[in-house]
Structure 1
Amino acid sequence: MHLTLGSLFDGIGVFPLASQRNSITPLWASEIEKAPIRITKRQFPNMIHLGDLTKLHGGDIPPVDIVTFGSPCQNLSTIGNREGLAGKKSNLFYEAIRIIEEMRETTNGKYPTLAIWENVMGAFSSNDRMDFKAVLESFVQTKVPVPPSRQWANAGMVRGRNVDVCWRVLDSQYWGVPQRRRRIFLAADFRDFRAREILFDTKGMQSHIETCNQNRLPTTQDNRSLITETGRQLLLYPFQERRMRTYAKEKNAKGFISSFGQPTDPFPTLLAGTVDTFAYWQEGLETEGLVRKLTPLECERIMGLPENWTKYGFDNQLISDSARYKALGNSIVVPCAEFILSNVAKVYVKGESHG
């Protein structure tokens, strides 16, 4: 069985990249930002670009086995405006659900087999915990109660009449990249009710994953290799900038010092609006150390991407650094997407499906 994938809110093509590495064909993508489209047209020359998903009908586009979508998080993030799913950006979640439902109706329930959704941790708490309830209910088409504790667990499962839904929080610092990035991943299985095996397979890819890309950093503790100078043992201290600003405002000296981190600490979550800063020096030569921001190449590394993935567009023209930083900060960490799609391939391609 050969699987196909469609990527909504595609960004710079992380789900298509992870699908290719697991012999799943990315057929099409929907994105409206110019720089990410230029990047993915270069990286996936055979992938169809559909444009604005609000203008699409799920029954009119090529049916696929898997629909992936990391819908906009600006209204859900704890550093955003917290308008929740009712916000102008995050409300686009329902457009993705509409497209999935239209595709299923047109294909008599055959496509898609799976939907995979990714979003920020703020989705658990926005709108007084009701937004994540609405997300689950959109998939299962029935009422889902808020937990008595009023706190959504970091992993869970609900089942509707025709769908099996699981969610799980993955933190990229435990998946082979030196970045602290906690994200919710949700899998909805419309066919075999095996979402649990897709998200919770303990025999699948772990933090020391192997891929064809030898430039990826294998563990958090190797983050000093971000510095490309050779022949010197460098100590690298990523700043926790949000914490630093808070403690500085409070005139909390101890807290301010703690925000400098330790050499083995992961970088803070890469954001679209800021660029992480770090200090580094040779052991014993602290006074000769430097402070600087991550380069776009280094941001690619801490997202688990191949080097220079975002450097050029399909026209061989350079992508601006500001556009690269924004695209990378909005992206998904590759090893997490690969873990999920490797399990999809194992369940649905390699003869393990019940279907």
Structure 2
Amino acid sequence: DMQYVLDRARVVGSEQQFLVGVRVLSGAIKANQAGGAYALLAERLIDAVLRAVERELARAHGKVPGGGAAVIAMGKLGGREMTAASDLDLIVIYDFDDTALHSAGSRPLAPTQYYARLTQRLISALTAATAEGTLYEVDMRLRPSGQQGPLATQLKTFIDYQKSAAWTWEHMALTRARVIAGPPQLRASVEAAVRAALVLPRERTKIAADVRDMRERIFKEKGTDDIWELKQVRGGLVDVEFIAQYLQLVHAAAHPEVLDQNTLEAYRKLRDAGLLAQDHAEVLIPATRLLHDLTQILRLCLEGGFDPATAPSGLKELLAQAGDAASFAQLEARLKEAQGRVSELFRLLIV
């Protein structure tokens, strides 16, 4: 029964999210381990819900010959950097036999209609409120063609779009793409398509100009001088992610080994390949870890922004502990210095 599946998913999801949070707050796991735990939970839930939705759709409309759908995790889920408050950035890719005109049920659907309906039901199954609460918010804006495009994309259309029509920011987002659900053969095909798009030769100066322009647009709309706005402040999460994504895009054609969905791992691979100077890595890796660790604590403990003037002393102590600082004052000094140095490297490296 689909309602039972939805309720059980929410029970499992809320229980496990709570346990991850308790382990972070109690010190049983470090904040930097939480991102992978939250992501693993989301992956398992998405896979289980997708299978249930596929069963329901097949009962009503049969199956599309040779058909299947794969889910690509993007953003924080793709990078295994989720927090307690993260939504899901997803793309759905489908494929089917070229000869298939419709599904093989008593109420047949054309393949494009079939997979559009599958995607709509998957989103609803993940987002709808039931008696057991809610599960996740889902963001599909990273799909090919953006908000105006179809919710699900056929594999060959996805390949053509990434090769000839995708913008720089879409390829940057693709550096975090990770296939997390779907039949094995289709998953392998989608993974190959993502990798092929990322290792295309690129003109460095054009990519750098696009990245700088995009960063300025974001800062103009959302920028801040508050060092505790960890994402949008200069030298914050947006900057460390953009630097890693830019360096991967401009070097992946010659050095595909630098590709990794996780920002920290990408920096380590870039350093090990000799494409990121050791002294730069010694700034970017600790700064990225610090920003992620502090973000985990804040998302776990607060719904709104963080104001040190009114924050409880216990929260400040927890933040200092997560940042390996002897005191909250020392943590603020470290954070401000790290953001300043990341901001400098953004200007130095993205050229």
TM-score in terms of structure 2 length: 0.28
More strand by proportion, 1 or 2? Answer: 1
- The TM-score, its normalising length taken from structure 1, stands at 0.28
Query: Higher helix fraction: Structure 1 or Structure 2?
Result: 2
